[in-house]
């Protein structure tokens, strides 16, 4: 729970700076770039009380190395100082969510039994965008465990149109 809270708190603070600087998209790209470089080995280094602070600062300089806005660079050093750098991936995810909401972009995950053809993907995207009145970035996945149908996840909401779910609903009605 501490990870989510810390991540959201720091992400919100950085997001407010990004909005004030009118630089939300650049901040998001920079954070995602750094997050991709954040390996388990780096997290172990940052957690280690035996690792010299100079080594940790050197890693941050290498990660940021002129590729990111100055505010992000300063932010990384604040996280290091506050011993919150180990939560960087969570902070980057929380920032991305705030940035996406700010620009009206939703994220959805679509799971089907078989890959959806391009035409169906386009129709599904258009229907979601019309229903929610926002743009969507959709991730598609195939699950052989589904008998058929579709499951759509948007945030905490799940729309289960799978055959397995339909059969389960029918079974529950019969047993009542």
What's the mean per-residue pLDDT of the chain? Answer: 88
Going from the C-alpha of 159 to that of each of 111, 123, 140, 156, the distances in angstroms are 10, 17, 14, 10
Tell me the helices (H) and strands (E) count for the chain, helix number first: 8, 4
Going from the C-alpha of 134 to that of each of 9, 26, 30, 155, 159, the distances in angstroms are 26, 21, 24, 14, 18
Model confidence, pTM:
0.70
Q: What are the pLDDT digits (tens) for 55-110?
A: 888 888 888 777 788 899 899 999 999 989 889 999 999 999 899 889 888 889 99
Query: Who wins on pLDDT, 2 or 145?
Result: 145
Query: How much is the pLDDT for 172?
Result: 87
Q: Among candidates 164, 37, 168, which has minimal Cα distance to 92?
A: 37
């Amino acid at each position: 729970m501490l990870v989510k809270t810390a991540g959201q708190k720091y992400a919100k603070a950085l997001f407010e700076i990004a909005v004030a600087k009118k630089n939300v998209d650049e901040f998001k790209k920079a954070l995602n770039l750094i997050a991709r470089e954040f390996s388990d080995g780096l997290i172990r280094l940052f957690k280690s009380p035996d690792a010299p602070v100079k080594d940790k600062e050197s890693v941050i300089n290498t990660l940021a190395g002129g590729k990111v806005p100055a505010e992000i660079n300063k932010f990384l050093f604040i996280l290091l100082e506050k011993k919150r750098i180990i939560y960087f991936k969570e902070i980057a995810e929380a920032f991305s969510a705030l940035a996406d909401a700010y620009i009206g972009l939703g994220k959805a995950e679509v799971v089907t039994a078989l890959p959806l053809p391009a035409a169906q993907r386009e129709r599904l995207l258009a229907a979601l965008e019309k229903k929610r009145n926002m743009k969507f970035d959709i991730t598609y996945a195939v699950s052989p465990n589904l008998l058929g149908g579709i499951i759509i996840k948007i945030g905490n909401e799940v729309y289960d149109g799978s055959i397995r779910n339909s059969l389960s609903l029918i079974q529950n009605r019969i047993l009542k």
